[in-house]
Structure 1
Amino acid sequence: MKTARFFLAGAAFASCFLTQIVHAETINFGIISSDSSAALKGRWQPLIDDLNKQTGLDVKAYFATDYAGIIEAMRFNKVQVGHFGNASAIEAVDRSNGEVFAKVKYKNGEAGYYSLLITNVNSKWKSLDQVLKNSKDINLGFGDPNSTSGTLVPSYYLFAKNGINPKSAFKSVLPSSHAANMLAVANDKIDVATNSTDMLDTIRTQHPALYPKIRVLWQSPLIPSDPLVWRRDLPQETKDKLSNFFYHYAEKDPREQAVMAAISGYSGFAESSDAQLVPIRRMALFQKKEQVQNDALLDAADKQAKIAALDQKIAALDSTAAK
């Protein structure tokens, strides 16, 4: 009996240990919602398949209807690795125990991509100046709240720098994905919309009939390329497998290069860290500062205190960037 008890206890321990190993080797890969899940799966699944074959990990693609879904999934450890935009990566790092470890590279040699304001080629709005002067007559398609190129960058460079609050300046503001906004503009269902050069390249290669229907009214300064984020508490062995795969993927293999190009004109991945988020964090803080400065409901003392606190955070980021 004692021998049987020891055998059963040992079997239970072994089962538990094996379960933990399997859990550690099973990875959910979150992919930000810039398009429909079906379209994203078609572009990303070949890379996920290669990741499984080359690392021995059990990696599954995880899609959510918006950026917040991926951020929250990583927070509760339902997603362990993800492809993010810079703004959503900040949320993943700050709230979801995330850490930037890589970033995508582009075939065209660019170090990043650009935010756009687009309209239909036959639209009566021919210039950015026209749009800004007649915003009360215009329906704006805006990005996901956690989108870098759809919301954060145009909010700062396009609207804040022109003294415009889009929520009050436009006839309507309709947040949606890049793909939905691109289609709405191409089909003349909305006047103007924020978007990105990544999505425009995707339309050009995968929906060439729609591409001539788009006119670009504005392009932002360069945005650092999209980061890959993993949870800090992943086992080091798993991190080593992931980094070795991503840092060397598509270096020489033509088929792998074709996989990357099909995702969004990418050519591979490069090493990165949380430091790449500093310029985006700075932009977000300046945006918050302008919101505080323009908040008529705040009394002078509260406003001054909030601005001073934001200035301290900006100074700390500048110090970090200098190092």
Structure 2
Amino acid sequence: MFNRLGRVLAASALITGSIMGTAQAAQESLTFGIISTESSQNLRTLWDPFLADMSKQTGMKINAFFAPDYAGVIQGMRFDKVDVAWYGNKAAMEAVDRAGGEIFAQTTALSGAQGYYSLMVANKDSSINNVDDMLKNAKQLTFANGDPNSTSGFLVPGYYVFAKNKVDANTIFKRTMNGSHEVNALSVANKQVDVGTFNSEGMERLEITAPEKAAQLKVIWTSPLIPADPMVWRKNLDGETKAKLQKFFMSYGAKPAEKQVLAALQWGQFRASTNDQLLPIRQLELFKQRSEIANNSNLSAADKQAKLDAIDAELATLEKRMAELESKNLKQAS
């Protein structure tokens, strides 16, 4: 599913330049939303240099907004309290669909990779070594799931680990809780929970910031590659502000000092993107819903088929759009 993303984005990014409005005065200040992958203090240390450069280069005051969960940033954008935000793909989908958001840029990994991986981790001393072990012993295990709006912490493992195995993460374990990537990893490392969701970017950071904790973890499952995170602005931002942001993000990271700032965030330079980045994530969400409906014994045969037909129609629409973008990219490359 995810392996088509590069070809799709290569085509969709070409239209990014046309999405900015015209001739409206730029804002004097912006609020930048940051999703809660770890503690606010840790995030502030990482983000302050980047936001300071954004302020200097755009001429606008940039205010950081941290919320205790992903929904807080999404709601902030919905009510025009957050102007620009870093989201995961799942949270970006919610922001685009429900909060007037629009993708304009995408992060890239410091290594040059176009994405990252969802992980399931257990303590290194645990007898749980893979998903089969976890599912067989689930009734005796505690599980730290991710934020419901997290791509790698919730959506991806929710489909590949649980839906495909026809089990519900909320009921299969002795106890299930939801937390940030950092909280989940530390809880597993400290043997407060048995298994938790995490991701490869978080693991790389933990190996730097708390190597003794990272050493207590073992990976029991790794997902397919997940598209790198998007940057989202309010669709109703004025054209001049969008132009300033676009210029900043598309040029940032060329200078050595800027590269160091991005490296602290584990990123390379940004690339242009659009809402089409979310197409494979939308597919994944629909596949997950389809699996849940197909295995729901409480639905009548007629109701089940009607719901499945509706999802199949949505999937067909997504597949058509992805094929169009892929075809456009192939023509431009030839």
TM-score, with length taken from structure 1? 0.91
Q: Secondary structure at the match of 1:82?
A: strand
Equivalence for 1:150: 153
In structure 2, give the amino acid aligned to 1:69: G
Matched, 1:134 2:137: yes
Equivalence for 2:81: 78
In structure 1, give the amino acid aligned to 2:127: K
Equivalence for 2:263: 261
| TM-fit CA distance, 1:126 | 2.4
| TM-fit CA distance, 1:120 | 0.9
Question: What pairs up with 1:23-62 in 2 under 5 angstroms?
Answer: 24-62=27-65
| TM-fit CA distance, 1:28 | 0.5
Deviations 1:146-166 (A, max 9, x none): 000000000111111222221
Q: Secondary structure at the match of 1:210?
A: helix
Contact 2:106 2:270 in 1 (8 A): yes
Q: Say what the alpha-carbon RMSD is for the aligned residues.
A: 1.3
Q: Distance in 1 between the 2:28 and 2:275 partners?
A: 24
| TM-fit CA distance, 1:257 | 1.1
Q: Secondary structure at the match of 1:319?
A: helix
Contact 2:25 2:238 in 1 (8 A): no
Q: Distance in 2 between the 1:44 and 1:33 partners?
A: 12
Structure 1: 5+ residue stretches without partners: 1-19
Contact 1:115 1:195 in 2 (8 A): yes
Equivalence for 1:224: 227
Identity of aligned residues (%): 45
Match of residue 236, structure 1, among 232, 235, 239: 239
Q: Distance in 1 between the 2:78 and 2:129 partners?
A: 43
Q: Secondary structure at the match of 2:92?
A: helix
| TM-fit CA distance, 1:25 | 2.7
Q: Secondary structure at the match of 1:297?
A: coil
Deviations 1:271-291 (A, max 9, x none): 111111000000001111111
Contact 2:25 2:241 in 1 (8 A): no
In structure 1, give the amino acid aligned to 2:322: A
Contact 1:32 1:67 in 2 (8 A): yes
Which structure has more RCO (C-alpha within 8 Å, separation ≥ 6)? Answer: 2
| TM-fit CA distance, 1:296 | 2.3
In structure 1, give the amino acid aligned to 2:250: Y
Q: Distance in 2 between the 1:39 and 1:261 partners?
A: 15
| TM-fit CA distance, 1:268 | 2.1
Deviations 1:282-323 (A, max 9, x none): 000111111112222222222111111111111100011111
| TM-fit CA distance, 1:83 | 0.1
Deviations 1:246-269 (A, max 9, x none): 111112x22211111112x11121
| TM-fit CA distance, 1:21 | 5.7
Deviations 1:11-53 (A, max 9, x none): xxxxxxxxx968x232110011111111111111100000000
Q: Distance in 2 between the 1:25 and 1:298 partners?
A: 54
Computing the radius of gyration from Cα coordinates, the structure with the larger value is: 1
In structure 2, give the amino acid aligned to 1:213: Q
Deviations 1:210-263 (A, max 9, x none): 121110011000000000000111111111110111111112x22211111112
Contact 1:182 1:195 in 2 (8 A): yes
| TM-fit CA distance, 1:206 | 1.4
| TM-fit CA distance, 1:128 | 2.5
In structure 2, give the amino acid aligned to 1:168: T
Q: Distance in 2 between the 1:25 and 1:236 partners?
A: 13
| TM-fit CA distance, 1:122 | 1.2
In structure 1, give the amino acid aligned to 2:256: P
In structure 2, give the amino acid aligned to 1:229: V
Equivalence for 2:308: 307
In structure 2, give the amino acid aligned to 1:258: Q
Q: Distance in 1 between the 2:206 and 2:115 partners?
A: 18
Stretches (4+) displaced over 4 A: none
Match of residue 108, structure 1, among 111, 117, 138: 111
Equivalence for 2:251: 248
Q: Secondary structure at the match of 2:112?
A: coil
Structure 2: 5+ residue stretches without partners: 1-23, 325-334
Contact 1:25 1:238 in 2 (8 A): no
Equivalence for 2:100: 97
| TM-fit CA distance, 1:115 | 0.1
Q: Secondary structure at the match of 2:32?
A: strand
Question: What pairs up with 1:202-221 in 2 under 5 angstroms?
Answer: 202-221=205-224
Q: Distance in 1 between the 2:135 and 2:78 partners?
A: 39
Equivalence for 1:281: 282
